[in-house]
A = this chain, B = another copy of it.
Amino acid sequence: MIKKITLIGSGNVAHNLGKAFLLNGLEVSEVYSRTKTNAKVLAEKLEANYTNNLNELNQESDLYIIATSDNAIEKIANELKLGNKLVVHTSGSVGIEVLKNASKNYGSFYPLQTFTKTHQADFSEVPICIEGNNKESLKALSQIAGKLTNTVNELSSAQRQKLHLAAVFVSNFANYMQVIGEELCEEQQVDFELLKPLIKEVFEKNQTAKAIDNQTGPALRGDSFTMNKHLELLKDKKELKKLYQLISELIGL
Would A165 and B203 count as touching, CB distance under 8 A?
Answer: no
Kindly provide the distance from the CB of A201 to the nearest chain B CB, expressed in whole angstroms: 6
Report if A56 contacts B (CB, 8 A). Answer: no
How many residues of chain A have a CB within 8 Å of chain B? 86
Number of copies: 2
**Cα distance, A233 to B247, chains bound together (Å):** 19
In the complex, which of the residues A71, A113, A163, A191 has the most CB atoms of chain B within 10 Å of its own CB atom?
A163
Given known A-B contacts A215-B179, A219-B172, A230-B93, A197 and B163 have beta carbons under 8 A apart: no
In the complex, which of the residues A114, A129, A195, A247 has the most CB atoms of chain B within 10 Å of its own CB atom?
A247
* Chain A residues at the B interface, C-beta cutoff of 8 Å: 69-71, 93-94, 112-114, 125-127, 129, 151, 153, 155, 158-159, 161-182, 184-185, 187-192, 194-203, 206-207, 210-212, 214-220, 223, 225-226, 229-230, 233-234, 239-240, 242-244, 246-247, 249-251
Which 8 A/B pairs are nearest by Cβ-Cβ distance?
Answer: A172-B217, A178-B211, A71-B225, A170-B181, A166-B181, A166-B184, A174-B177, A162-B188
